C-alpha cells in the first residue's frame, strides 16, 4: 500500500510525470469501474477533486482496538483496586466497574 500522505506530506508545486499525465481523470469520460470505499470521490469540479481520505478505515480500526484495550485495562484496574481495598464484595465491584465503562 502507498503510505504517502499519512506521515510525510504529498509533494506539491512540481511538474507532472508522463505516467501522471496519462492517468489523468477525464471528467466527461465515463469509466466502467465500481467505486471502492477507500477511493470514493465526494465532490468534483473544474478546480479540484475532493475524495475520502484513503487512511480513514485504518485509523478507525486502530481507534476501535485502542478503545477496547483501554476499556479492558480500566476494568481490570477498577476490579483489582476494588478487590484489594474494598469490602471484598467482588461481584458488586465488577458490576460497578462494568457500568462505568
| Residues 14-25 pLDDT 10s | 999 999 899 888
| Residues 32-42 pLDDT 10s | 877 666 566 77
Provide the residue ranges of all domains of the chain, joining segments of one domain with +.
Answer: 57-100
pLDDT at 50 over 90: no
Please state, in angstroms and as integers, the Cα–Cα distance from residue 40 to each residue in 9, 50, 61, following that order. Answer: 21, 9, 19
Place of cell 480500526: 61
Q: Please state, in angstroms and rounded to a whole number, the distance separating the CA atoms of residues 80 and 86.
A: 9
| Residues 61-92 pLDDT 10s | 889 999 999 989 988 888 787 777 766 666 76
pLDDT reported for residue 64: 95
Amino acid at each position: 500500500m502507498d503510505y504517502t500522505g499519512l506521515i510525510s506530506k504529498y509533494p506539491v508545486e512540481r511538474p507532472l510525470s508522463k505516467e501522471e499525465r496519462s492517468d489523468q481523470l477525464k471528467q466527461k469520460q465515463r469509466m466502467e469501474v465500481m467505486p471502492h470505499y477507500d477511493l470514493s470521490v465526494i465532490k468534483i469540479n473544474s478546480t479540484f477533486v475532493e475524495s475520502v481520505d484513503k487512511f480513514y478505515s485504518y485509523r478507525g480500526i486502530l481507534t476501535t482496538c485502542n478503545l477496547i484495550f483501554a476499556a479492558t485495562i480500566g476494568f481490570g484496574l477498577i476490579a483489582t483496586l476494588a478487590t484489594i481495598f474494598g469490602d471484598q464484595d467482588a461481584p458488586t465491584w465488577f458490576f460497578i466497574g462494568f457500568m462505568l465503562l
